[in-house]
Amino acid sequence: EVLAAAIQEHFVAMLGEASPVDGEPSFSTLINVLDRCSEQFLALGAYHQRLLEAFASLDATATVQQRIAVEFSRVIAAQLWHLQRKRQLASWADIGLLAGQVTNAVICTAIVWSTGHLPDAALGPAIRYAAGLVLLGAARGRTHADLEMLVTQAQSVIPKPTRPVNEVEQSLTQEN
pLDDT tens digits, residue range 103-147? 999 988 988 888 888 898 999 999 999 999 999 999 999 999 999
The pLDDT score that the predictor gives to residue 117 is 84
Q: What gap in Å lies between CA 95 and CA 78, rounded to an integer? A: 9
Closest CA to 11 of 69, 75, 58, 53: 69
Top pLDDT among 19 and 106 is at: 106
In the 8-state DSSP scheme, what is residue 139?
B
What is the distance between the alpha carbons of residues 4 and 153, in angstroms, rounded to a whole number? 36
Give the Cα separation of 90 and 23 in Å (integer): 23
User: Can you give the pTM of this predicted structure?
Assistant: 0.76
What is the average pLDDT score of the chain?
A: 80
**CA 31 – CA 86 distance, rounded (Å):** 17
Average pLDDT rounded to a whole number, residues 20-33? 72
Least confident residue range of 13-22, 45-54, 79-88, 128-137: 13-22
